[in-house]
A and B are shown apart, each in its own frame.
Chain A
Amino acid sequence: QVQLQESGPGLVKPSQTLSLTCTVSGGTIRTDGYYWSWIRQHPGKGLEWIGFISHRGSTYYNPSLQGRATISVDTSENRFSLNLNSVTAADTAVYYCARDHYFDNTGYDAFDIWGQGTTVTVSS
């Protein structure tokens, strides 16, 4: 049973870099057919997809973050990470990591496994 667990500081100062790690257990990150995503949820709001990475290092980011996000993967440690720079109070949110599963050869994909989420507050 694959599980994801987020870790990182819960408090970040404005203008600094938010850094989070998602550790994958119960399975290997080095599997074709999956992308590894970061998604956030502002307090009391909906879900915003930040971006994803493949185990080979291919990435795609949400343009709404204006180039501030970087996602990296460490296959030897079976984890992937998010760096979000120049944070402001608007980046205060619950951050989730999730597995983006491409179902067989259908071309359809969905976020089928999620971490429990970690709350990050941006404040001085």
Chain B
Amino acid sequence: DTQMTQSPSSLSASVGDRVTISCRASQTVNAYVNWYQQKPGKAPKLLIYAATSLLSGVPSRFSGSGSGTDFTLTISSLQPEDFATYYCQQSFSSPRTFGQGTKVEIK
């Protein structure tokens, strides 16, 4: 299985801050990485697919980068509604696997 490791596990930030979340795959996954946002008690929501493609309707302050084994999700200016847990996921091979999550909290 391909392991996905996120860092940090949690972070505190203020509204307006630029936030970066990293995800590393245990083997190359090319650009087959997706990013999800999950709020408490809710299902995850897809933000970015294929490492860099923003899903239609997702605010442009979200962006993704990377290829191979190292990937990044960036929120350019954190908004109050962005406080949530973020997960990366690889779709290069089965079984599909997720990172352990990064919780973004209010500073």
Q: Which residues of A contact B (CB under 8 A)?
A: 37, 46-49, 60-64, 96, 98, 103, 106, 108-112, 114-117
Contacts and interface: CB of A to CB of B under 8 A. Distances in A.
A110 B91 contact: yes
Contacts of B91: 108-110
Interface residues of B, number: 25
Contact of A108 (B32, B44, B98, B100): B32
B71 interface: no
B87 A47 contact: yes
Contacts of A112: 46, 49, 55
Contacts of B42: 116
B63 to A, nearest CB: 16
Nearest to A99: B46
- Find the residue from A46, A49, A60 having the highest chain B CB count within 10 A: A46
Contact of B100 (A46, A63, A106): A46
B38 to A, nearest CB: 8
B49 A108 contact: yes
Nearest to B96: A49
Contacts of B36: 111
Nearest to A4: B43
Contacts of B1: 63-64
B44 A49 contact: no
A4 to B, nearest CB: 9
7 contacts: A46-B98, A47-B44, A49-B96, A96-B43, A106-B50, A108-B49, A110-B34
B96 to A, nearest CB: 4
Nearest to B44: A114
B12 interface: no
Contacts of B43: 96, 98, 114-117
A111 B95 CA distance: 14
B101 A46 contact: yes
A116 B89 CA distance: 19
Contacts of B89: 47, 110-111
